[in-house]
Structure 1
Amino acid sequence: MVQPSSSILRADNRIRGLVNGGGFPIEIVLALIGIVVPIAAFVWEFVLVGRKRLGYRVQMDTPVTGEIESVFPGVLPQLQPDGTGTPPDLKDLSVVLMRIENSGATDIDDGDYAVPEAELVGVHIHFPDRRVIGMAVTELSDDTLGDCLRPGTGIGKREDAAHHIGIIDLPKVPMNRRDHYKILAILQRSAGTGGVYPTPIVRAKIKGGRVAETRSNTGTSPRLLALIGFLVVVVAVQYFVGLRPQDTPVNAQCTSGKLTLVGSTAFEPVVRDAAAAYHKLCDGADFSFAFDGSDRGLSRVDDEGKGNPELLAVSDGAKGPGYPDLRPRTLALSLFTMVVNPGVGVSDLSVAQIRDIYAGRVSNWQQLGGPDLPVRVVNRALGSGTRETFRTRLLGDEQPPAPPATSCRAISAGNPAGASFCEVQVTKDMLKTVAELRGAIGYAENADATKASDVKTVTIGGQSPTREQVAAHAYPFWNVEYAYSNGELPADSLAAAFLRYLTDLQGKDVLRSYGNTPCTELPNPTTCTPNP
């Protein structure tokens, strides 16, 4: 085992002195936590986020079987409003009834939906593995809501065929307190062979509030039970702290336990290698991983991480609004790069040219000195930290929205003339798509891109992605990698020890091996701030 440095040993001794010598009143701290948390939970729930909240509830989601043998056969095909008079062949049907409501303490106006002002749609309901074949609005709490849900208001149905997701779009409906309406949807399976359907997903965002699943007001509140459970845990911890031997050492080098790491797919290889190196140092450390994007990782820690130090999210860049409980730890300066298909033949692009490409103003690589080849623009999906880094660092806030995206596979098969746009979920999909799709351009974390032999990296304005170029303000495509926990981490938790390992100990070697620069080693460490 690697021996601790003298500075680590001195810090270790100071911690022991505080805990063992009675200078650290941990029992008082736990008692204060037991008082402050319920008060904070009340204020948060009923004064802050509870003031403006759009709620939703799946009231029915059931498969439809036996229709052919029913007393009135042919009823279900009549629900398909195709106007042809010919009943479609409908199989594997299901019926979903969803309630959309204002469950907060104040009214919701159309301006409270966090979408561009010109955008009509404010809420999206996703049905994985199903397509929408019919829908209706029902049970309006106020008849005037119907004026906001008529044709032309943004309401409609569509399908993300590439990902087998049926989608219902709903307009930005103004709702007074306790207003609600319901959506009745007839769905048909579009993927899978049977079994339980995935739960419908509501995607929306409310300014100064939140969107949350609601429940019927019967039985005991799960949140009340969670709060009671939390208080029981605090009392139990106080009891066991009192029983703990006072000479228990705090080991800054090796901490056992479990830790799940989620978030950025761009930073995933770094974290996996660092976790493997830490496990060699401390075989009692058990790591698991679920990297599926920065935004999903932050949402998971926000939802599941309260009082759970076994869950950390890694994010490309600082968190956005809506995560007040998440606590940041800066890790490293991370470099990103543009990548192209080898057939593109372009080795350098200016920021202005990149903006033109992603705005659809460049349709053929000939316009930029390349071959006669249509441009295929590949973007990361919404919620990706890498995509947000790309938007912030290169596109800017004034960039017009990109043309609508389609399936990358459909572009490859159809080979349409002119520029085409598609999206991918994770870093490995980005590199694979750019490598296989002729004329493609995309972006990725620099270490991943340089290791991919089947794509070509592109300099930006003649500058390569290096720490020196970033420090000289010459290379624009970079960001700071963060680790987020829900609340402060216990000093003796595996999560806290792993973060110390990454930022102050041998883990920095792993960061550097991937071309990342630990924040503590920057000429100006304040570069690693939430708003660099």
Structure 2
Amino acid sequence: MNMRSKSSIAFALAAILLLTAFVCGCTDSGPAPTETKTISVTGSTTVLPIAQLAAEAYMDTHPEADIQVSGGGSSVGVKAVGAGTADIGMASRDLKSSESEAYPELVQHVVAKDAIAIIVNPSNTVSDLSVAQIKSIYLGDSTNWKDVGGPDETIVVVGRDSASGTREYFHEAVMDEEDFTMGQLEKNSNGAVRQTVAQTPGAIGYVGLGYIDATVKAVPVNIGSTNVDASVETVISGVYPIARGLNMFTMGEAEGLSADYLAFIMSSEVQALVLKEGFVPVV
């Protein structure tokens, strides 16, 4: 083989190597994309607005995070996190003894406080109700509004379904664990209770503080000689008699994205959103 042939071959090989390097350089897209991290949060419809707002705000600045939030009720949330089908369970009440026994490793995180507001249809002229009168209505002993200082109108009792933490707390704090009237209309969310009361003359219901709006009338609770409105201020002061903590539960101490998300909820940014939504901040 003469020198010219050798030079041609060497040139061809060099050209191939250069082309290969160029092609590889063009197809290199830089660092591999960050792996998406996903957690699921489910349970209480009272805690739901807080969880959703926090998830959206967190994901705005953490594009690698996927926080999936859904309702279903406190019992659903506790069972889901206990059984491992959700990373975080929301509950608008403390754990029942049966739940503590079934899931002893659950860790409680109080993310806000709330009042349970008593709501009626805006047309109702009743000015206030005592806890005893509210109990009498939900027992079915008082069936007409005139029995408790209101108009001559049949009371339509609206409450929550058995999966609700709000119902569980109401059952303990107001009903002294006595049975609800059989005529109660049971709804599966705060929103559904509010809508039914707003559309039904004579209706009474109970909802979390954040669900009060112009479509319903929140009735002050009479505590002796004083009528107390359900509000952030009366919950903080401890004056309002029907108030509770709002919780998120994890199986063991939170880790990874769950821990970051819960820490974010306790930040001043999200606690300000908690207040804006009508709930009571805890920090």
**Quick check: TM above 0.5?**
yes
Measure how far apart 1:395 and its partner are: 2.3
* Per-residue deviation, 1:439: 0.8
Paired positions, count:
241
Q: Which of 395, 398, 404 lines up with 2:182 in the alignment?
A: 404
Q: Which whole-Å CA distance do the structure 1 matches of 2:235 and 2:43 have between them?
A: 24
Equivalent pair of 1:347/1:457 in contact (CA under 8 Å) = no
Name which of 501, 504, 528 aligns with 2:264.
Answer: 501
Relative to 1, partners in 2 of residues 1:302 and 1:423: Cα closer, same or farther, differing over 3 Å? same
1:437 aligns with 2:215: no
Counterpart CA distance in 2 for 1:437 and 1:484 is 36
* Residue 516, structure 1, aligned to residue 283, structure 2: no
Map 1:142-181 onto structure 2 (within 5 A). Answer: none
Percent identical pairs in the alignment equals 29
Query: Matches of residues 322-361 of structure 1 in structure 2 within 5 Å?
Result: 322=99, 323-361=103-141
CA deviations over 1:288-321 (Å, ceiling 9, x no partner):
122110001111111125xxxx611111021112
Preserved CA contact (<8 Å) 1:329 1:484: yes
Q: Which amino acid aligns with 1:470?
A: V
Could you say which residue in structure 2 is the equivalent of 1:465? 230
Aligned counterpart for 2:50 among listed residues 261, 264, 270: 270
**2:22 alignment counterpart:** none
Q: Aligned in 2, Cα 1:438/1:517: closer, same or farther, shift over 3 Å?
A: closer
Pick the aligned partner of 1:295 from 75, 79, 83. Answer: 75
How far did 1:394 drift?
A: 2.1
Match runs of 1:58-137 below 5 Å: none
Residue 216 (structure 2) aligned to one of 444, 455, 473? 455
Of 78, 88, 97, the residue aligned with 1:312 is 88
Kept after mapping to 1: 8 A contact 2:44/2:91:
yes
CA distance in 2, matches of 1:449, 1:256: 37
TM-score, structure 2 as length reference: 0.79
After superposition, what is the alpha-carbon deviation per residue over 1:440-497, rounded to whole angstroms, capped at 9, x for unaligned?
10000111123xx22111111110123442344321111101110122222xx11100
Distance in 2 between residues matched to 1:502 and 1:289, nearest whole Å: 14
- The unaligned stretches of length 5 or more in structure 1 are 1-254, 406-420, 521-532
Aligned partners of 1:449, 1:466: CA distance in 2, in Å? Answer: 10
Distance in structure 2 (CA, Å) of the matches to 1:447 and 1:467: 10
Work out which of the two has the higher radius of gyration on C-alpha atoms and give 1 or 2.
2
Q: Who is 2:32 aligned against?
A: none
Unaligned runs of 5+ in 2: 1-34
Where is the helix percentage greater, Structure 1 or Structure 2? Answer: 2
Q: Residues 471 and 512 from structure 1, CA distance in 2 versus in 1: closer, same or farther, beyond 3 angstroms?
A: closer
Q: Which amino acid aligns with 1:378?
A: V
Q: Secondary structure at the match of 1:444?
A: strand
Shift of 1:515: 2.6
Structure of greater relative contact order (alpha carbons < 8 Å, 6+ residues apart):
2
User: 2:246 matched to which residue of 1?
Assistant: 481
- Equivalence for 1:178: none
Distance 1:505-1:402 versus aligned 2 partners, 3 A rule: closer
Q: Would the aligned equivalents of 1:256 and 1:282 in 2 still touch at CA under 8 Å?
A: no
**Within 2, Cα distance between the matches of 1:258 and 1:509?**
25
1:284 and 2:58 equivalent?
A: no
Conservation of the 8 A alpha-carbon contact between 1:501 and 1:508: no
> Could you tell me the TM-score, scaled by structure 1's length?
0.43
**Residue 144 of structure 2 corresponds to residue 364 of structure 1:** yes
1:500 positional shift: 0.4
Q: Against the structure 1 CA distance between its residues 488 and 442, is the aligned structure 2 distance closer, same or farther, given a 3 Å change threshold? A: same
What CA RMSD, in Å, does the superposition of the two structures yield over aligned residues? 1.9
Mapped partners of 1:365, 1:353: distance in 2: 10
Aligned mates of 2:64, 2:130 — CA distance in 1 = 49
* 1:223-270 Cα deviation digits (max 9, x unpaired): xxxxxxxxxxxxxxxxxxxxxxxxxxxxxxxx9621211011112122
CA apart distance, 1:516? 2.4
SS at match of 1:469: helix
3-state SS of paired residue (2:174): helix
For 2:243, the aligned partner's letter is: W
Deviation at 1:272, TM superposition (A): 0.8
Q: What residue in structure 2 maps to residue 212 of structure 1?
A: none
TM-aligned CA distance change 1:428 to 1:472, over 3 Å: closer
- The amino acid of 1:276's aligned partner reads E
